[in-house]
Amino acid sequence: MKLALLFLAGCCAAAEAPAVRAPVLLELFTSEGCSSCPPADRLLQKLDSAQPVAGADLIVLSEHVDYWNQLGWKDPFSSAKFSERQRDYAQSLRGEVYTPELVVDGVKGFVGSDEGEARQAIHDSLRTGKAPIRVEVNGGKISLHLDHAVEGTLWLALAHDTMKSNVTRGENAGRGLSHVAVVYSLEKVGKIDKHDAAFDREIAFTPHQGETTRIVAFIQKPEIGRVVAIGQARM
């Protein structure tokens, strides 16, 4: 009888253990100068906060492009680096450059406000496993650790947790816009060799005072392909 009770208790404990969710990277290429972009910004916020896809841990990044800046409103979060990254995706995915665009795990791009397409791409991505990167912040340094052998380019993104703007000119004139995980730094950390069983990196880091920063590290197949490893932290 006692053994049976212990067995039942063990089953209950196992049933209550939280399921491990697989990380999926969502990159939204957007602009405050584009009237079609606010619905995509809202969808990214929804996917981030609600985490609505079973089995998926959605890691989101907003990358504001700069090619809308000459049409009346200069997006304060925009960078030529993000425009260049989107052009690289257009080449690797054999697509076009447009906003808003959502890219899932580096392998699928589509109109960023299309929730049905987003959910399908996330489900498809769950079929491909990824190695976890452990991301920790120790004082003025970011520590990255990976236990699995993968090959690719290691990227590090730093993002404002949330940001808001009151747009006074351009297609969104008079609107208040909000964004989530707004990238302000995206840098190549280095190349990872598949023959390395593990790696550790330490990177100098100066946080923005008074706000939450998202730190996302990920490895893509050269040069800008499928995401094969990822991790994130906040501080």
Average the pLDDT over 28-33 and give the result.
98
Which of 100, 219, 204, 79 has the alpha carbon at shortest distance from 142? 204
pLDDT exceeds 90 at position 233: yes
Look at strands 227-234 and 131-138 and give their pairing.
Answer: parallel
Domain, as residue range, for 162: 22-234
Residue type, 148: H
- Asked whether residue 9 is domain-assigned, the answer is no
> Looking at the predicted structure, is the pLDDT value of residue 13 above 50?
no
Task: Give the number of domains in the chain.
Answer: 1
Q: What pLDDT is recorded for position 9?
A: 46
Establish whether the linkage from the previous residue to 223 is cis, with ω within 30° of 0. Answer: yes
- 4 within a domain of the structure (yes/no): no
Yes or no: say if 169 and 75 are a contact pair by the CB < 8 Å rule: no
In a domain, 17, yes or no: no
- 185-201: per-residue pLDDT in tens? 999 999 988 777 788 89
The model's pLDDT over 149-208, given as tens digits with 9 standing for 90+, comes to: 899 999 999 999 999 999 999 999 999 999 999 999 999 999 988 777 788 899 998 877
Give a three-class secondary structure readout of the chain.
CHHHHHHHHHHHHHHHCCCCCEEEEEEEEECCCCCCHHHHHHHHHHHHHHCCCCCEEEEEEEEECCCCHHHCCCCCCECHHHHHHHHHHHHHCCCCCCCCEEEECCCEEEECCCHHHHHHHHHHHCCCCCEEEEEEEECCEEEEEECCCCCEEEEEEEEEEEEEEECCCCCCCCCEEEEEEEEEEEEEEEEECCCCCCEEEEEECCCCCCCCEEEEEEEECCCCCCEEEEEEEEC
**Is position 224 within any domain?**
yes
Residue 5 lies in a domain: no
The verdict on residue 11 lying in a domain is: no
- Predicted confidence at residue 222, as pLDDT, reads 83
- The pTM of this model reads 0.91
User: Where is average pLDDT lowest: 4-8, 10-14, 26-30, 128-132?
Assistant: 4-8
**pLDDT score of 213:** 95
How confident is residue 16, by pLDDT bands cut at 50, 70 and 90?
low
Residue 142 pLDDT exceeds 80: yes
Of 124, 130, 88, 84, the closest CA to residue 104 belongs to: 124
- Say whether pLDDT at 2 is over 70: no
Q: What percent of the chain has pLDDT over 90?
A: 78
Residue 149, pLDDT score: 82
Q: How far apart are CA 216 and CA 90, in angstroms?
A: 22
Q: How far are the Cα atoms of 67, 78, 167, 176, 184 from residue 70, in angstroms, in the given order?
A: 7, 12, 14, 20, 20
d(Cα 234, Cα 19) in Å, to the nearest integer?
22
